[in-house]
């Protein structure tokens, strides 16, 4: 797959893929398709989107928003949402907050697990990795919606 890197006159850089079903481009990570780019300095075709990791705080989208220390790749999103690696201390907290009647998130024996009480095919153990000497767990593929805490704050101010 080839990507389109668009550098705008103001210095912002955005990445797109060509939409194979329509004439246009889809932003990497989700968003509305565009048919042309405005305010462009350069457009180039590239083989891969560079990693743009940020250590930050994310929140689970909802009324009450606890924040969690995380590492996110700003260029790798799911439908516009962050796909965070959550710090081990906050992964424990998040597991307690995300448990519902038919689903259980648990932190036991140094692992984060997910159990669906009605469909065991959905059960999983989360991937972990060391980042700067600390353990993080990948919450980016569970269908959960996370946003940067700063984005949540800005959104609240505009409502």
pLDDT for residue 112: 94
Round to whole Å and give the CA distance between 3 and 6: 10
pLDDT for residue 151: 57
Say yes or no to pLDDT of 154 above 90.
Answer: no
Judge if 87 and 138 occupy the same domain. yes
Judge if 107 and 70 occupy the same domain. yes
Residue 9's domain comprises 3-46
Count of domains for the chain: 2
Read off the pLDDT band of 130 (50, 70, 90): very high
3-state secondary structure of 113: strand
Judge if 101 and 132 occupy the same domain. yes
Judge if 42 and 106 occupy the same domain. no
Judge if 60 and 124 occupy the same domain. yes
Span between the terminal Cα atoms of the chain, in Å = 39
pLDDT digit string, tens, across residues 92-129:
999 988 878 888 999 999 999 999 888 989 899 999 99
pLDDT for residue 159: 27
Judge if 58 and 131 occupy the same domain. yes
Judge if 62 and 9 occupy the same domain. no
Say yes or no to pLDDT of 155 above 50.
Answer: no
> Side-chain half-sphere of 59: how many Cα atoms within 13 Å?
14
Judge if 65 and 39 occupy the same domain. no
């Amino acid at each position: 797959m080839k990507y389109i890197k668009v550098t705008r006159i103001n210095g912002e850089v955005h990445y797109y893929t060509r939409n194979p079903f329509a004439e246009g481009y889809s932003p990497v990570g989700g968003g509305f398709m565009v048919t042309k780019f405005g305010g462009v300095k350069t457009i180039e075709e590239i083989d891969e989107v560079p990693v743009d990791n940020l250590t930050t705080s994310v929140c689970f989208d909802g009324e009450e928003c606890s924040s969690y220390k995380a590492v996110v790749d700003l260029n790798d999103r799911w439908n516009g949402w962050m796909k965070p690696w959550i710090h081990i201390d906050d992964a424990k907290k998040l597991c307690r907050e995300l448990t519902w009647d038919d689903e259980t998130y648990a932190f036991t024996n140094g692992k984060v697990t997910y159990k669906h009480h009605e469909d065991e095919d959905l059960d999983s153990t989360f991937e972990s990795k060391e980042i700067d000497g600390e353990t993080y767990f990948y919450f980016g593929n569970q269908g959960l919606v996370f946003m940067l805490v700063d984005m949540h704050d800005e959104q609240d101010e505009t409502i």
